[in-house]
């Protein structure tokens, strides 16, 4: 997978045009989210972090594993104006883990070992994710 780096507003617009021309180009949608995240100052600037989440939700709905993982991570900790949502974080991490994300499996093992927010501890699930 090639990372698309966007360093100017013009390039962001070009990437956005690519994304809208081909709704199936999940990598372009995901990368646009990555670049909005970078532009947000890692979540500080509200407009860009909202666009990050919008892009990653679209990519995740299409099956993009990294988008699912990253979206779960944002929802896990709450970033900028995006509130913490433990249930949605676990939902996206579980989908990412089913797609083979080792990082999502690890995070789920930790979440289920101790419980987190509205997600109750479940040692059986913790062990299952930890042993995969």
What is the residue-wise DSSP string for 23-35?
TT-HHHHHHHHHH
pLDDT tens digits, the chain, 132 residues: what are they?
455 555 566 666 566 666 656 666 888 889 888 888 888 876 667 888 898 999 999 999 999 999 999 999 999 999 888 999 999 999 999 999 999 999 999 999 999 999 999 999 999 999 999 876
43, 37 Cβ separation under 8 angstroms: yes
pLDDT given at position 108 = 97
Tokens of 6: 């966007």
Q: At 82, is the secondary structure helix, strand, or coil?
A: strand
Tokens of 113: 């070992």
Tokens of 123: 């040692």
**Side-chain-side CA neighbours of residue 113 (13 Å):** 11
Q: CB within 8 A of 91, min separation 6: which ones?
A: 72
pTM attached to this predicted model: 0.82
The residues that bridge with 119 in the sheet, in sequence order, are: 116
Task: Round to whole Å and give the CA distance between 93 and 75.
Answer: 10
Task: Round to whole Å and give the CA distance between 26 and 2.
Answer: 13
| CATH H-level superfamily of 9-131 | Tetratricopeptide repeat domain (1.25.40.10)
């Amino acid at each position: 997978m090639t990372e698309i780096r966007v360093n100017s507003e013009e390039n962001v617009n070009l990437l956005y045009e690519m994304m809208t021309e081909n709704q199936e180009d999940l990598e372009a949608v995901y990368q646009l989210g990555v670049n909005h995240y970078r532009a947000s100052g890692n979540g500080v600037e509200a407009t860009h972090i909202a666009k990050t989440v919008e892009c990653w939700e679209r990519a995740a709905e299409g099956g993009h594993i990294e988008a699912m993982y990253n979206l779960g991570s944002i929802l896990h900790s709450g970033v900028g104006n995006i509130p913490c949502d433990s249930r949605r974080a676990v939902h996206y991490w579980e989908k990412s883990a089913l797609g083979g994300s080792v990082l999502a499996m690890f995070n789920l093992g930790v979440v289920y070992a101790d419980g987190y927010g509205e997600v109750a501890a479940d040692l059986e699930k913790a062990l299952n994710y930890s042993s995969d």
